[in-house]
A and B are shown apart, each in its own frame.
Chain A
């Protein structure tokens, strides 16, 4: 069973909660996916609006583990403060740490990410760093105290799927004991199956489900793909080979003249 910071997690599919057509569809998608972890954010409240009340009561009613994010933060200071505020509201020391470095690609600023991760882990946070597929950055994040890594496989919301299988395979190979969640860039269930077949421990999705024609059906499809990919990895897959190998025994074949 997957363990994240000592917590046993049954579902290897984690879902974001943004961009769904309606709260009812969000609920149905979450329930269908059987996810146990959902991501949430903090944004400015408006006077008299109580705009977060409905969403927050909805999430609480589902009795899930919440993973607050620092989405949109571009500096260490912003990310650390957002994490502090999230801990106060959500009563969890889990934080999905995002420090964005580029507006167009939403690529993480990995230098700031490592620094923020070090500060937050020293303060007792359990950091889930949204990072690239760079091995050295991964090493620094682990040295900073992270016990989970969340590499992208393509830019957030791009739906391009795994762009660099080599880098992802390298990450898996270099850190075999570290729980790794592919976060960002998945567009199709086959993408999820592909990274799970590479040995990743889980995937975190949002846009691919929320913006699907039928988000609930897509949540189901992703859940099945994640399970299939995970089972395939655990079962041990045949490696590709250059030459054909007959599956039917050659010995005993009749000889017709």
Chain B
């Protein structure tokens, strides 16, 4: 399945958002995720089914002003 993750094209086997994070080696309970500009809470990733063409954002805490 072809997806856009943080602006980059990926071809993955994962079907759920949870599985996608594992497949692409994103780890940590501090990550925030969105699919097609909608929040997907950490608790909902396992049940979130991906479809081809989805745009996924994976964010992490950073310094800020």
- Chain A residues within 8 Å of B, Cβ to Cβ: 16-20, 26, 39-48, 50-53, 55-56, 59, 68-69, 71, 77, 81, 84-86, 88-90, 156-157, 206-207
Contact = CB atoms under 8 A, between A and B. Distances in A.
B58 A81 contact: no
A17 B32 contact: no
Contacts of B25: 47-48
- Of all A-B residue pairs in the complex, the 9 with the closest CB atoms, nearest first, are A41-B64, A52-B60, A16-B65, A206-B65, A85-B32, A18-B63, A45-B60, A84-B39, A42-B59
A68 B57 contact: no
B51 interface: no
Given A41-B64, A55-B62, A71-B64, A86 B28 contact: no
A85 B35 CA distance: 11
What's the dominant secondary structure at chain A's contact region? mixed
B49 to A, nearest CB: 19
Interface of B: 6-7, 24-28, 30-34, 37-39, 41-42, 57-65
A47 B26 contact: yes
A71 B60 contact: no
A85 B39 contact: yes
